[in-house]
Structure 1
Amino acid sequence: MLWRMRALMLLTGVFCMLYFGLQPLMELYEEKPVVAAPEEVVFINTSECHVSGPRKPAAYFMAIEPVCRLRCHMPQLIIAKTQGGSNFLVGNGVAEDLQCRYWLKSAGDLRSRKYLPDGHFDMRNGAMEEIRVGTGHQIVRIKCSNQSNETRYHDVHYFLPPPPEVQSKATSSPEKMSVIVLGIDSVSHMHFMRYFPLVKAFLENQPHTKFFGYSRVGLDAYANLVPFLSGLSSRDLQSKEGTWLFQNFKAGGYSTAYGEDRPRDIFADRKGGWTPPRQLADFDLTPVMVEMETHTRYSIDLKERILCSAGRTFQEVLGDFVLKLVPHMQQGPFFSFFWQSQGVEEYYEYASHLDLSYMLLLKSLLDANVLNNTLLLLMSDHGLRAGNYRSSFQGMREESQPLLVAMYPEWLKQQYPMAMENLEKNAHSLITPYDLHETLRDVISLGEMQDAHIEVRRNNLLSCPKKKIPRAVSLFLPVPDHRTCDLAHIPSLFCFCRELTEVPTDDGLVLRCSRFLVESINKLVKPFGRCRRLRLKMVLLAHFLDFGEESFVYELRLRVRTVPGNGEFEATVRLSDAILLTSPISRVNHYLAQSHCLSDPDFKIFCFCM
């Protein structure tokens, strides 16, 4: 009996020793309560508008084809470089003997179809030969064939030699500050937050401000970039004489550059007597993209929206153009506008392809000391405009919440404290492309950002009657807290300051307004005579827009489907003595070849060709 008691006491002691001895170690590995990240992101927080949204995306269907497989499948057998004042083509992994022919365009002929006399050269298996093709600013197209006369390589290269003497003029506080616009089409702010972790991490180590309240004012890139680059709406530009920022910066002593990753720029096929912005630039990538489109391009996706030339996507060609400009940016003040649209316009997940390339591009600009005297805008025009994700309620909201981030050197905050304090405080204000235009006009004349000037301009702005504040407010000034979508010239369809209340789609008033919407589309395309008359098939969504208890305005946001063609369209309709459209009409599904008989981009979205 005694031995049993002793054994029990021993076991109890061992248990206590093990339990209390190991308890600190157990606590070390014990799961701790983690402070959860906020589920909501605040976009706008003013007295007149509060907009927030979920941090996680809404459910959506995957793309028809895996975007991870969308890679150029042709080899990049030749690279181009400029050395010692001459332009060279260099072999890169050539696995067989090739006979090559090339065609040159010089700086004066870039926009024409005129070629210099062509040339020939041979590339031997495994050789790293350097073929001199000329000097200066040139475009060269190369086509190489093997012994069986099979084409093995067809590509276009662009030579942009550095200035004669490259030396950085960046100082701690230059007299003029450069501007770089890096635009990515169809990327909402939350889309960026989800798919660009590397760029986000890079930004966290640089002075920057994210503008959560940036809103679009038009349907497409054209309607949002015209206000940004000219200060006018796209409609006003047809009747008024505007001045592009390219002209303003050139008058201020800046060099300028324009680049897109497609051959037809944003402003192509638009009516007006104005000169397209790219033709005002000192350096323009468009002739290179046109040459690729004409001779060497091939598509890598089913929709034929993502293009390659040899082993490079058109987006990579645009990135290379930016890097070729770095020595010129180091020479003096520079205004450059770059815009990417391929891939991101069509595929929600394609943004994940871009994160690394944009982070490396920003790092290259940082390492080259370009960002030390540059205001860089990383921005978009709107969120995704069509597809499964866009059809969700969250996707509908994000379409009107484009990306906008401003990066700037640290010295700017020290030299212009009041202006930069206002800029950072505007992070959750309701702002538009008109405001960006006014902001960049201030950058041309840095004297306008001195505290004394800012104080005077601030007082003048705050003294304006509530309903007469200007359409465009520089972000170096405090954007008025009482600003509304109407005061900011944001159409109802793009404004989420007003609460949306879902209403039954079979309501009599909803059906009446939906038929009016479809009839409005028919009136738009009737003059063309080549489009089928549309009929209302069904009302997909209907929301009542809340204007407040004191308002007698009754407005509906509608999404309808029409036949033939199953087009899906959205607009806002106001009911008063008559039914009125209060916004542009947006198409929210793809129309592909349905509108082949029209070329006007303003009307293609509505037309089902006969």
Structure 2
Amino acid sequence: MARLMLRMKVSMILTGVFFTLYFGLQPVTEWFERKDLVAAPEEVVFVNTSVCHVSGQWKPTGFYSSIEPVNKLRCRMPQLLIAITQDGSNFLEAKRISEDLSCKYWLKSGHTHIHSGQYTAYGHFDLKRGATRKIKIGTGEQIVRIRCLDKFKASKYHDVLYFFSPPDPKLMSTESPEKLSVMVLGIDSVSHMHFVRYFPLVKAFLENHPHTKFFGYSRVGLDANANLVPFLGGESSRVAGSDFLSNDKAWLWDSFKIEGYSTAYGEDNAKGILSSRNGDKELPKIPVDFDLTPVIVEMNNHTRYSIDLKEMIHCTAGRKFQDVLRDFVLQLVPYMQGIPFFSVFWQSQGVQEYYEYAWHLDHSYMTLLKKLLDADILNNTLLLLMSDHGLRAGEYRMSLQGMKEESQPLMVAIYPEWLKRKYPLAVGNLESNAHSLITPYDLRETLADVIALGQLKDANIEVSMKRLQTHPPNRLPRGISLFLPIPDHRTCDLAHIPSLFCFCRELTELPTDDGLVLRSSRFMVESINQLIKPFGQCRQLKLEMVLLAYFLDFGEESFVYELRLRVRTSPGNGVYEATVRLSDVLLLTSPISRVSHYLGQSPCIGDPDLQIFCFCI
């Protein structure tokens, strides 16, 4: 009897275990069975309107472009001195001195012209091993270059530092009229999907703050200059010309300054992305209150050294140029806390050449955003985290996905919570434009509304929306504020986006030996030769091979026929892309873009627009 009872208990236990395992694990089993469906290739929608649908892959095949571990590159020299201001005086503070050094310094005014070689003062001091020392060198805004030698006259430290005047308490009003500050944080050559893949920390930060990702943001020009001048200057860089660039009132900075904003500009490149395209002219003096350009130019002329094989990532002493730029942003925080500010900061080193370098920037930009949040800057600021275009050259750019991403730059707007509460219709429109086709011209109009913030009240927005609806469908304004709904029927042509940068149209691949393809390709190379013909130092190019050819579908009702071409030329193995319209005569409908590297091929010519075509004799 006892044995029978034991058997029954064991049977009941085993039965219970069986049912528990079967029914308990069934949901888990189903989850694993469904996992293949979830893990299927995913796509993200960029533009989704009645006339344009653009999508792309979340995760393309893994790709590495560099032959060295660029993420591990560090500046080789020590950072022996830092700049501090105390009680209105400027000091150089010595740190980590491991040997006796003899130092000399050269001073410039902080308001000096960028290319001025004139120093206002000189001086020298000694640093003793193990000692901590502060060296007073002056007051106010100053730029100082310091060079230290050891007892054998070998250079041990060479750097450029700068000082700001402390904020004037009289100007730091705590009860100023309501204004929304604007900050542009630009990272060159980063497409929206590049950002998604390589900036997980920044993405996580954004999820906790009001923001809108503009998937349909498109470039309108080839490079940073051609995309930032329409945004900050309101005109195409080719239309604007050098006269425009020398006119202070053409820039957004002037509009903001008139309304009582302080202004700032900084980039980590001494060449100047906003300069005239004529390589023989000097960089313009940007009309801002705080300008990092003279500092970067001084570093570039005297203390710069490169740490990568392509010599595209620069250091000064123990800091990368991009670190100097981010320090500049943080130096301005005390000024931003008390007065409305319009500022533009742009990084280009590293990201222009190396696809995977973006991963190295994620933590630093997340840290910067966190510091701006802790300083309460983001509570009163519209921050545009943006780029100008995707990666423009190299192996990844040669892929179809890379070709599309070049024209899909990053654009994210971060704004304070109170903005949506106070202006619900305007911010609602902003958010509804996340998948609309938008351009730098629209950003210009958006910031014009920020200057006149009261115009964002619901009643005013309703009037502007009705006015926009009165425009004929085929004659929309070139720039439309993002606080208004971008019309659903907007096309690339209506948005002034050249064919080469537009992916609303279906691409049909054509044989590269097709007669029309070859004829159009020869016309494209001849167009390049016409551009460089006046420059005898540049070799005339020959068509070596047609690499790709696509037919652009404009729809059944259209009689427009265009080809998108990729060709390789000789000498120099340059690879170029453009769109050619087929008619009685062939016509270029886009700029000609170079998608292969050309470092070292065109030192004989200074114009950036022509360097991409010139193979020097």
- Structure 1 length normalisation: TM-score? 0.95
Report what 1:442 is aligned to.
449
Secondary structure in structure 2 of the residue aligned to 1:179: strand
Contact 1:221-1:266 at 8 Å conserved across structures: yes
**Equivalence map 1:426-441=2 (5 Å):** 426-441=433-448
Give the AA of the match of 1:123: L
Secondary structure in structure 2 of the residue aligned to 1:109: coil
How far is 1:20 from its partner? Answer: 4.1
Change (3 A) 1:391 1:573: same
Change (3 A) 1:370 1:239: closer
Mapped partners of 1:145, 1:61: distance in 2? 40
Aligned length: 608
Contact 1:238-1:271 at 8 Å conserved across structures: no
The answer on 1:96 being equivalent to 2:96 is no
The answer on 1:81 being equivalent to 2:84 is yes
Give the AA of the match of 1:234: S
Mapped partners of 1:272, 1:566: distance in 2? 24
Secondary structure in structure 2 of the residue aligned to 1:458: helix
Give the AA of the match of 1:175: E
CA RMSD of aligned residues (A): 2.5
Mapped partners of 2:462, 2:13: distance in 1? 76
How far is 1:109 from its partner? Answer: 3.3
Mapped partners of 1:505, 1:61: distance in 2? 28
Report what 2:18 is aligned to.
19
Report what 2:183 is aligned to.
180
How far is 1:267 from its partner? Answer: 2.6
Mapped partners of 2:182, 2:8: distance in 1? 80
Q: 1:237 aligns with which of 228, 240, 244?
A: 240
Give the AA of the match of 2:295: V
Give the AA of the match of 2:492: C
Report what 1:221 is aligned to.
224
Give the AA of the match of 2:205: F
The answer on 1:135 being equivalent to 2:142 is no
Greater Cα offset, 524-533 or 299-308: 524-533
Secondary structure in structure 2 of the residue aligned to 1:279: coil
How far is 1:234 from its partner? Answer: 1.4
Contact 2:268-2:324 at 8 Å conserved across structures: yes
The C-alpha deviation readout for 1:183-241, integer Å capped at 9, x for no partner, is: 11100000011111111111111111110000000011111111101111112212985
The answer on 1:114 being equivalent to 2:118 is yes
**Equivalence map 1:192-203=2 (5 Å):** 192-203=195-206
Mapped partners of 1:174, 1:56: distance in 2? 46
Q: 1:162 aligns with which of 158, 161, 166?
A: 166
How far is 1:24 from its partner? Answer: 7.2
Secondary structure in structure 1 of the residue aligned to 2:296: helix
Report what 1:597 is aligned to.
604
**Equivalence map 1:500-511=2 (5 Å):** 500-511=507-518
The C-alpha deviation readout for 1:28-61, integer Å capped at 9, x for no partner, is: 9766545837711111111111111110124534
Secondary structure in structure 2 of the residue aligned to 1:466: coil
Contact 2:532-2:614 at 8 Å conserved across structures: yes
Q: 1:531 aligns with which of 538, 541, 544?
A: 538
Mapped partners of 1:17, 1:288: distance in 2? 76
Mapped partners of 2:568, 2:279: distance in 1? 32
Mapped partners of 1:421, 1:467: distance in 2? 25
Q: 2:47 aligns with which of 44, 50, 60?
A: 44
Mapped partners of 2:285, 2:469: distance in 1? 37
Give the AA of the match of 1:537: E
Mapped partners of 2:10, 2:46: distance in 1? 62
How far is 1:507 from its partner? Answer: 1.2
Greater Cα offset, 69-78 or 206-215: 69-78
Q: 2:460 aligns with which of 444, 453, 456?
A: 453
**Equivalence map 1:33-72=2 (5 Å):** 33-34=34-35, 36=38, 39-72=42-75
Contact 1:237-1:272 at 8 Å conserved across structures: no
The answer on 1:476 being equivalent to 2:479 is no
Q: 1:324 aligns with which of 283, 308, 331?
A: 331
Secondary structure in structure 1 of the residue aligned to 2:403: helix
Contact 1:167-1:330 at 8 Å conserved across structures: no
The percent identity for this pair of structures is 66
How far is 1:564 from its partner? Answer: 0.7
Change (3 A) 1:403 1:100: same
Secondary structure in structure 1 of the residue aligned to 2:600: helix
Contact 1:503-1:542 at 8 Å conserved across structures: yes
Give the AA of the match of 1:287: P
Change (3 A) 1:110 1:523: closer
Mapped partners of 2:503, 2:177: distance in 1? 40
Contact 1:345-1:384 at 8 Å conserved across structures: yes
How far is 1:19 from its partner? Answer: 3.4
Give unpaired runs (5+ residues) of structure 1: none
The answer on 1:383 being equivalent to 2:390 is yes
Report what 1:516 is aligned to.
523
Give the AA of the match of 2:38: A
Greater Cα offset, 330-339 or 115-124: 115-124
Q: 1:126 aligns with which of 117, 126, 130?
A: 130
- Structure 2 length normalisation: TM-score? 0.93
Contact 1:170-1:330 at 8 Å conserved across structures: no
How far is 1:137 from its partner? Answer: 0.8
Contact 1:110-1:139 at 8 Å conserved across structures: no
Report what 1:392 is aligned to.
399
How far is 1:5 from its partner? Answer: 9.7
How far is 1:69 from its partner? Answer: 2.4
